């Protein structure tokens, strides 16, 4: 039991959820390493949703609301960390949900679909034979997607994705929204809209923005004026400034 007063309570709780996800067969072992990399960047960001991430969340909400065929891609870590918000977002947009795994196994697909359904999801695409279409330029199991889901989508939300698939989806002409704590990853650099934030903070905010922006006349303008390279540059500057302040405070007081 982690006491709620622990300074790293939230982070430790999330780590526990991912570890439990491995035990339940929802998260692959490699998901632990991915989570650790995310934690490291979250430490640098200060475990908050930085202003540039909020701009990306606003643009992501606009893209999802304006989409003709929006799809939310779910992997093991996302299912373990934010299953309820995935379902809420899918309802709010509305969007389809697809299980999309880097390390595919029928058993894990079914477990993730079951978990999402337990949280209120209706149909969950991408399980077993449903993943019958292929993303060009990718190899092996990683190329399989649902014909009625990611394959057909114009806008895909990929909270936690790898660079190759993000690039391949972009080449298919899709708008790709990534949530990735690492602003330097290939995923972050090649997505159309990159939310540099923890999925556990970004997903509830995305639901909030979708509900607030639905039907608003400024949606197209939000999207038209959005510049992802600029947002990524602003994230790097945000981290840089924060580290500068921390360094200064260390010089000044001798402690953080
Ligand atoms: P790429 O192929 O895009 O360069 P990578 O090889 O660095 O990616 P992977 O191991 O495929 O990364 O995926 C892990 C990514 O997910 C990391 O960039 C990490 O920062 C991010 N990540 C992990 N946990 C979270 C989380 N809870 N919220 C947001 N991002 C996360």
Question: Which residue is closest in CA terms to ligand 1's atom 31?
Answer: 38
CA distance 56 to 178: 10
Q: What is the pLDDT of residues 45-92, one digit of tens each?
A: 999 999 999 999 999 999 999 999 999 999 999 999 999 999 999 999
**Does 233 fall in a domain?**
no
**Does 65 fall in a domain?**
yes
Is 35 near ligand 1, meaning CB less than 6 Å away? yes
CA distance 28 to 76: 7
Please give the residue range of the domain that contains residue 207: 51-224
Question: Which residue is closest in CA terms to ligand 1's atom 30?
Answer: 180
CATH of the domain at 206: 3.40.50.12640
Query: What pLDDT is recorded for position 255?
Result: 56
**Does 44 fall in a domain?**
no
Is 176 near ligand 1, meaning CB less than 6 Å away? no
Q: What is the pLDDT of residues 96-124, one digit of tens each?
A: 999 999 888 999 999 999 999 999 999 99
Substitution candidate for ligand 1 out of 181, 196, 203 with most atoms within 8 A of CB: 181
Residues above pLDDT 70, as percent of the chain: 98
**Does 175 fall in a domain?**
yes
What is the CA(218)–ligand 1 centre distance, in A?
Answer: 32
**Does 236 fall in a domain?**
no
Note the pTM of the prediction, 2 decimals: 0.95
Residues above pLDDT 90, as percent of the chain: 86
Is 21 near ligand 1, meaning CB less than 6 Å away? no
Query: What pLDDT is recorded for position 191?
Result: 97
**Does 130 fall in a domain?**
yes
**Does 3 fall in a domain?**
no
Substitution candidate for ligand 1 out of 79, 162, 168, 235 with most atoms within 8 A of CB: 162
Question: Which residue is closest in CA terms to ligand 1's atom 15?
Answer: 34
Is 71 near ligand 1, meaning CB less than 6 Å away? no
Rounded to the nearest integer, the mean pLDDT of the chain is 94
What is the CA(95)–ligand 1 centre distance, in A?
Answer: 23
Q: What is the total count of domains within the chain?
A: 1
**Does 75 fall in a domain?**
yes
CA distance 220 to 66: 8
Residues 6+ apart with CB under 8 A from 3: 9
- Alpha carbon of 160 to those of 9, 144, 223: distances in Å? 23, 17, 22
Is 39 near ligand 1, meaning CB less than 6 Å away? no
Q: Which residue has the tokens 């650790």?
A: 36
Residue of 78, 61, 79 whose CA lies nearest to 70 = 61
Question: Which residue is closest in CA terms to ligand 1's atom 20?
Answer: 38
Is 180 near ligand 1, meaning CB less than 6 Å away? yes
- Tallying the residues shown for the chain, one arrives at 256
């Amino acid at each position: 039991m982690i006491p709620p007063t622990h300074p790293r309570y939230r982070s430790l709780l999330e780590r526990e959820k991912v570890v439990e996800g491995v035990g339940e067969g929802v998260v692959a072992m490699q998901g632990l390493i991915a989570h650790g990399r995310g934690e490291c960047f979250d430490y640098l960001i200060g475990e908050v949703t930085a202003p540039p991430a909020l701009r990306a969340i606003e643009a992501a909400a606009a893209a999802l609301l304006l989409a003709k065929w929006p799809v939310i891609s779910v992997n093991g870590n996302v299912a373990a960390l934010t299953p309820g918000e995935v379902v809420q977002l899918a309802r709010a947009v509305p969007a389809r949900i697809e299980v999309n795994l880097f390390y595919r196994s029928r058993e894990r697909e079914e477990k993730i679909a079951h978990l999402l359904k337990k949280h209120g999801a209706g149909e969950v695409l991408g399980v077993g034979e449903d993943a019958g279409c292929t993303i060009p330029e990718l190899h092996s199991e990683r190329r399989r997607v649902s014909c009625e889901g990611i394959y057909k989508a114009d806008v895909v939300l990929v909270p936690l994705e790898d660079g190759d698939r993000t690039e391949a989806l972009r080449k298919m002409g899709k708008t790709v929204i990534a949530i990735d704590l690492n602003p330097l990853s290939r995923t972050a650099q090649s997505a159309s809209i990159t939310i540099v934030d923890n999925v556990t903070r970004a997903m509830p905010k995305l639901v909030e923005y979708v509900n607030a922006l639905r039907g608003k006349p400024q949606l197209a303008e939000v999207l038209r004026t959005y510049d992802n390279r600029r947002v990524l540059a602003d994230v790097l500057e945000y981290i840089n400034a924060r580290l500068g302040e921390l360094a200064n405070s260390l010089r000044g007081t001798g402690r953080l």
